[in-house]
Amino acid sequence: MPWRKPQPTLSDSDFQRFRLLILERTGLMFDHKRRAAVAQALTEGAHQVGDPSLERYFNLLSASPTDGPIWEPLISTLTVNESYFFRDAEQIEVLRRCLLPDVIARRQSQRRLRLWSAGCAGGEEPYTLAILLHQLIPDLERWDALILATDIDRQALQRAERAAYRDWSFRNTSAAIRQSYFNDNGDCLELHSHLRRLVKFAYLNLAEDAYPTPSDPLLSGLDLILCRNVTIYLPEPVIHAIAGRFYQSLASGGWLMVGASETNDQRYHPFQAVNLRGITVYQKAGKMAEIPGRTVRPVRPPLEEATKETGEAKREAPGRGDLPNTAPPSSPPMIPKVVPPNAAALYREGEDWLRQRRLADARRCFEACLSQEPGHSAACQQLARLEANAGRLAEARRWVEQALEREPLRVESHYLLALIKQEQGEIEPAAAQFRKVIYLEPGFILAHVHLGDLYQKLGQSAAAARHRAQAVGLGGRLPSDTLLPGSDDLTVGHVLALLRNTPGY
């Protein structure tokens, strides 16, 4: 087994006080299953501010503003900056075909649009909005259009402002989009400047009650707010407060879109829940848009408000002492014995959560699976994918290597390890890893595609052309809508179109 660097640890009391401080300042909530991650983040954060003792570091954090330099490295380590262009194809289609056309039509006379990407991470989401606006508004240069993009992680905002991205950010983006809106700078793609100018980046802690304010027009009268896959890390009271502030920030008839796993009607009172093409979005009460196929349902108030409204009726209802006399049960009710689920059941439950895009629930199931069956290779593989998609490549690599220790011939693990090495800039090792994938599974189309790209970067044009031709040949034997192993939703037709648009193909 390869040597592992010892992981930092926290005592129960230290974990509890740091956990509560982080929750109070950022709204981020960490349970005991994430204790090791918190310990690692504290170690890295303390290192970046001079390696104070744990006690001194806690005092520094307590005495410092959350938006200051003491908190900045810790927040950057704790937050999950998982994003990529055109993330969640179903939601993107609702934006493209329903929400954006609606707000564009509403604002046609003023030619003014205000959109907000809340929790923008590395910038892929607001720049996706910029591309969609460019596609939908032929005379966009004549509009006063602004996309506000905010995040609590200042380091992520700095990366976002550079607008330079590597392959991992384009895993759901067509070649046509990349060629139309990005400049190829060799090791990265850089967004065109006319789209970058549509986006304004700013620091904002969503958990703080500091918005909207009359003095900040950027956070009022908004047409659309995207806050996707952000609140899954926050406790319910914080989510309710954020939802209320979003409601205040929107113009009448404005829209809120949250992540597919985050829809919860009680959280988003007093919005109206609207079903569009099978996706739930929320609208601030106002003139209702005429969108074909829409289904509207009122959002029920939170439980405490419902209780207030029905309080009188509850007080008039009879208590147990007012019930007619009834004979007690002859024997106490049987309490079924609870049998904890086994590793296989936990793994299947984790897969179900993945299909629903409830990533935090999926993670908990895979971690529980491993606690019952250490070394469960499929659970290690799934955790590796979750970490890789969140941009935590070192952690992803650790998990995928564990999967391969248990199951050395696991093709998908070799493929994920190759992708991680490629993203970490290890070109030769990545190429060798892709060759292992092809040795184990000669028909693995995406391995041929990536190997072709790597050989091109290494200046081996003949080898690059050979692997691309093999990918096309293999894909030509399959229906175009066949989903490819190793991807979330790429089809054969998508990849063939990408290859045929590749320069020099």
What pLDDT shows up at residue 215? 67
Q: What average pLDDT does the segment 332-349 reach?
A: 59
Residue spans of the domains in the chain: they are: 12-78, 89-298, 343-500
Span of 170-174, 220-224, 272-276, 330-334 with lowest mean pLDDT: 330-334
Task: Kindly compute the dihedral angle of the four CA atoms of residues 444, 447, 448, 451, in this order, to the nearest 10 degrees.
Answer: -160
252, 285 Cβ separation under 8 angstroms: yes
Task: Kindly compute the dihedral angle of the four CA atoms of residues 91, 96, 102, 106, in this order, to the nearest 10 degrees.
Answer: 130
**Side-chain-facing half-sphere of 61: CA atoms under 13 Å:** 25
347, 380 Cβ separation under 8 angstroms: no
Provide the mean pLDDT of the chain.
82
Q: Could you give the CA distance from residue 304 to residue 255 in angstroms, rounded to a whole number?
A: 25
Return the ∠ at Cα 313 (arms to 307 and 317), rounded to 5°: 115
Q: Is 264 exposed, middle or buried (0-12, 13-18, 19+ CB in 10 A)?
A: middle
Q: Could you give the CA distance from residue 239 to residue 112 in angstroms, rounded to a whole number?
A: 29
CATH class of 343-500: mainly alpha
Q: Which parts of 334-470 are beta strand (E)?
A: none
Q: Model-level pTM?
A: 0.59
Instruction: State how beta strands 272-276 and 279-283 pair.
Output: antiparallel
* Pair of tokens at residue 450: 């990536």
Q: What average pLDDT does the segment 109-130 reach?
A: 96
Span of 176-190, 291-305, 346-360, 428-442 with lowest mean pLDDT: 291-305
Q: Is 217 exposed, middle or buried (0-12, 13-18, 19+ CB in 10 A)?
A: exposed
**pLDDT band at 488; cut points 50, 70, 90:** low
Task: Kindly compute the dihedral angle of the four CA atoms of residues 162, 164, 169, 172, in this order, to the nearest 10 degrees.
Answer: 110
For residue 311, the Cα-to-chain-centroid distance in whole angstroms is 40
Bigger pLDDT: 285 vs 396:
396
* Pair of tokens at residue 107: 């604002």
Collapse the DSSP code of 178 into the 3-class scheme (helix H, G, I; strand E, B; otherwise coil) and give the result.
helix
Q: What average pLDDT does the segment 125-148 reach?
A: 96
Task: Name the β-bridge partners of 255.
Answer: 224, 283
Fold that domain 89-298 belongs to in CATH: Rossmann fold (3.40.50)
* CATH of region 12-78, choose from 3.10.129.10, 1.10.155.10, 2.20.25.190, 3.10.20.90: 1.10.155.10
Phi, psi (degrees; rounded to nearest 5) at 24: -65, -40
> 12-78 and 89-298: same fold?
no
Instruction: State how beta strands 222-227 and 189-191 pair.
Output: unpaired
What pLDDT shows up at residue 81? 66
User: What are 373-428's pLDDT values in tens digits?
Assistant: 887 989 999 999 998 888 889 999 999 998 998 888 889 999 999 999 998 889 99
What b/e string do you get for 62-97 counting C-beta neighbours within 10 Å, with b at 16 or more? eeeebbeebbbbbbbbbbbbbbbbbbbeebbebbee
Q: Which residues contact 244 (CB under 8 A, 6 or more apart)?
A: none
Q: Match 């007080």 to its residue by tokens.
A: 315
Q: Could you give the CA distance from residue 266 to residue 271 in angstroms, rounded to a whole number?
A: 10
Q: Could you give the CA distance from residue 278 to residue 266 in angstroms, rounded to a whole number?
A: 19
Q: What percent of the chain has pLDDT over 90?
A: 38
Which of 106, 104, 176 has the alpha carbon at shortest distance from 142?
104
Cis geometry, peptide bond prior to residue 292 (ω within 30 degrees of 0): no
